Structure 1
Amino acid sequence: MGNSDLTFSVWDNNRWGEIFRIPSKPEMPESFYETKMKECFEDKQLAMGVGRAVISSVVPGLTEKGRNAARALFHVEPLTVGPSVYPRLPLEVLNPAEIGSDLVANAMAAFVKYKRNTIVVDFGTALTFTTVLATGKMAGVSIAPGLKTAIKALSQNTAKLFDVAIEIPPSALGTNTITAIQSGIFLGYEGLVRTMIAKIKSEAGDCIAVATGGLSWAIPNLRPDFYAIEPTHTLDGLRIIADLMTEEK
């Protein structure tokens, strides 16, 4: 459950199904999320027989609403990833009281899947860089405004600038307001990501970089910089955590 969207999917037959996104609206009642999730299942003719549910939330006002929606729809008690879970993971979690559970899920997936020093670059509401070492130690996190957040900040804090589409500009030389913003944001973020990856590697040692998040597709020029682009990377981390918790029982 993120600041922009509630993202969910069903793991079945060793693969993820459709990835659904519902706008995050903390002011809406619990019934809103239950109804929207049910509509997603019905639209794709998915059975409601879910055996487990696992939740990561970085929006405190949504956490319990998500938990209650899972209880009502699937009749299971959802696992909520948070500080009480971290000591049971094969990770050395950085600052457990503060770190977002999505970042822990990203680190968990990287640790299990790659077994190498890995930088997970998550293109979401925030642009995050989570570095996990092959030993399982979370070495550090860096956070910057996400692409949409940066565009919105310009439109909300300036008199004559406005929201623009998430599109790569044809040139660094913007010729109107739209292409000027797109040039500054997209080419600027291309440089930001490359610089951060290089700086992290200089401090953490040899690393691979993996991209995830709802906007991981948005800057195609960065694709050669990534070992993999994994849209379901965070979901994989949550699934792996749920598997570990189930094995303990």
Structure 2
Amino acid sequence: MILAIDIGNTNIVLGVFNQDKLITSFRLATDHLKTTDEYASIIMLLLERNKIEQSGIKGIIISSVVPSLIYTFNKLCRKYFYQEPIIVGPGIKTGVKIHIDNPREVGADRIVNAAAAIKKYGAPVIVVDFGTATTFDVIDKNSCYIGGLICPGIKLSIKALHTGTAKLPEVEIGKPKRVVGTNTITSIQSGIYYGYLSMIDGIIEKIIDELSCDTKLLKVIATGGLGSIFVEESKYLDIYEPNLTLEGLRVIYEKNN
């Protein structure tokens, strides 16, 4: 079995694979102040509760957009699993050809998503990741990562609306029954949901124009915590893949072993 770890700004997602099958996954809050031992105690408990033997983990791969936690988890892998993890970054084989101004600037999670999307759906493909930031990653018909967009995440927008105003509350995101809200809560929910939906479809339309590809060949994949609520309404999102990043980590692990 291999342990895949994706360290994000808001959450840390872990998945255990038995060959190519994801058998369980966990989600932890990202905490810069937690020590190696504190993270280890939580992870060991979760593995135990899911009847996964620590000794059964034969490989570990990590992607991170939080540099300070790479050391923490690197130490955790060595101390508790007696293994040197693969850290996604320069020098690691990903199978993704990166054609942008500075390839080192691309977040590890975005390359991991691209690797999974190419493996599963081929190219061209667009990945929309609804995380702390909402990102669009574009892979052309030649399976080259050619860039993308970075937008404020949905939860960040809700928090900014709340903290930047005197009377607007912080609300839960969800799909409203109507576009026109009849009170403050539903008005905010509608503005966030339909505002983001329009942004998503509008951006994808412009990407399609730039790619000049046959839309019948193009797949548009949604991933990330809030992606599922937009797939049904969007004109372009084809499918929701909640474990795309974990799947990408497995693909890259295999390429490096």
TM (normalized to structure 2)?
A: 0.89
Shift of 1:220: 4.6
Determine the structure 2 residue equivalent to 1:2. Answer: 8
Residues 36 and 133 from structure 1, CA distance in 2 versus in 1: closer, same or farther, beyond 3 angstroms? Answer: same
Matched, 1:92 2:89: no
Q: Is the 8 A contact 1:30 1:66 kept in 2?
A: yes
Q: Whole-Å Cα distance in 2 between the matches of residues 167 and 228 of structure 1?
A: 18
Determine the structure 2 residue equivalent to 1:239. Answer: 250
Higher relative contact order at CA 8 Å, sep ≥6: structure 1 or structure 2? Answer: 2
Q: Is the 8 A contact 1:111 1:133 kept in 2?
A: no
Alignment gaps of 5+ in structure 2: 1-6
Shift of 1:83: 2.0
Identify the match of residue 160 of structure 1 among 147, 159, 167: 167
| Paired positions, count | 244
Equivalent residue runs for 1:38-117 within 5 Å: 38-48=44-54, 49-85=56-92, 88-93=93-98, 94=100, 95-117=102-124
Answer with 30-39 or 4-13: which moved more. 30-39
Residues 68-110 of structure 1, C-alpha deviations (whole Å, 9 max, x = no match): 222233221110001232xx34322232221100000111112
Q: Is the 8 A contact 1:34 1:72 kept in 2?
A: no
Superposition RMSD on alpha carbons, in Å?
1.6
**Amino acid of the structure 2 residue aligned with 1:221:** E
Matched, 1:217 2:223: no
Residues 9-48 of structure 1, C-alpha deviations (whole Å, 9 max, x = no match): 1011531122210000112222221111112112222221
Q: SS where residue 225 of structure 1 aligns?
A: coil
* Higher strand residue share: 2
Determine the structure 1 residue equivalent to 2:241. Answer: 230
Q: Is the 8 A contact 1:119 1:129 kept in 2?
A: yes
Residues 188-225 of structure 1, C-alpha deviations (whole Å, 9 max, x = no match): 11111111111101001333201111221122533663
Shift of 1:227: 2.8
**Amino acid of the structure 2 residue aligned with 1:209:** V
Answer with 228-237 or 89-98: which moved more. 89-98
Determine the structure 2 residue equivalent to 1:184. Answer: 191
Determine the structure 2 residue equivalent to 1:11. Answer: 17
Q: Whole-Å Cα distance in 2 between the matches of residues 80 and 92 of structure 1?
A: 18
Q: Whole-Å Cα distance in 2 between the matches of residues 56 and 155 of structure 1?
A: 32
Q: Whole-Å Cα distance in 2 between the matches of residues 209 and 187 of structure 1?
A: 19
Q: Is the 8 A contact 2:225 2:242 kept in 1?
A: yes
